Amino acid sequence: MTLTEFLTARLNEDEAAARETLTKRPDPVSRAEFLAEHEISDAEVVRRAAARRIAFHDTNTWLVGVSPHRVLAEVEAKRQLINRVEQHAEFVDAVRETDSLRYDRVALHLLAPLALPYADHPDYDEAWRP
Amino acid sequence: MTLIEFLTARLDEDELVARSCATERWTVKDGWHDGLDMEVLSSTYPACIEPEEATHTARHDPARVLAEVEAKRRIVDAAQRNPHAPWDAYAIGRDDLGRRALRALALPYADHPDFDEGWRP
């Protein structure tokens, strides 16, 4: 299993779980809507979270990464990053096949960190650890 | 505000909020949540405390958020510390790969008031 295959599988899992949650219980409130509704700013949410821990009614768990909307946005961002690295690697290989600037080196810097949050998965290869 | 300043600020916020949670690990036990502060989530994001959502919620506990922050900081650091290698040597137009990577990382925060639409990939 390659690093990209591993990442793609984990992102598909994240996406599937988030979409299932949204299907069962649609969440109409985006982060921006939540902040507007409670008339608080991002900075204020963070300040309160720091001062009083998270246990207060007006902290949006979007900030903690639980919201399916946030998760889907993260999945999309990571897929774009993977696509760019793959396209770039193909470009580099096409330009100069013998160059040391091969996919592995690019992936080491830009993709390997993305796999870290899944390091406890049985398919994770310790060789990917940055 | 630069893209890197923006990303650094958002990652600092994510870390701060994750660290302020009462428990770091949320798990699923007997089909029900284990470890998370039900009082907090029930008042802020009710959908996430339903037992059928336990799997999704547990995937994104504070420990996971902290791991994501660490991963993204490494990418930001790599893009900053290695401006000429390995990807910048083959810059496509004015957008090198490091910058494209950072723009992708900024996407989840696109509704933040400091987000610059010029950063959108």
Facing residue for A60 by CB, picked from B44, B70, B97: B44
Q: Average of pLDDT values for A114-128?
A: 91
User: Is B59 a residue whose pLDDT tops 90?
Assistant: no
**Phi, psi at B71, each rounded to 5°:** -60, -45
ipTM above 0.85, yes or no: no
Q: What is the dihedral of CA A130, A85, A64, A53, to 10 degrees?
A: 40
pTM above 0.80, yes or no: no
Dist CA A63 CA B111 (whole Å): 12
| pLDDT tens by residue, A88-115 | 777 666 665 554 455 556 667 788 899 9
Residues B86-96 as b/e (b if ≥16 CB within 10 A, e otherwise) read: bbeebeeeeeb
Cβ–Cβ gap B57/A116 under 8 Å:
no
Instruction: Please state the separation of Cα B77 from the chain's center in Å.
Output: 15
Residue scoring higher pLDDT (B96 or A125): A125
Is the peptide bond prior to B86 cis by the omega test (within 30 degrees of 0)? Answer: yes
Dist CA A87 CA A33 (whole Å): 36
Query: Which residues of chain A have a CB within 8 Å of the CB of B21?
Result: 53-54, 64
Cβ–Cβ gap A101/B87 under 8 Å:
yes
Dist CA A109 CA B44 (whole Å): 37
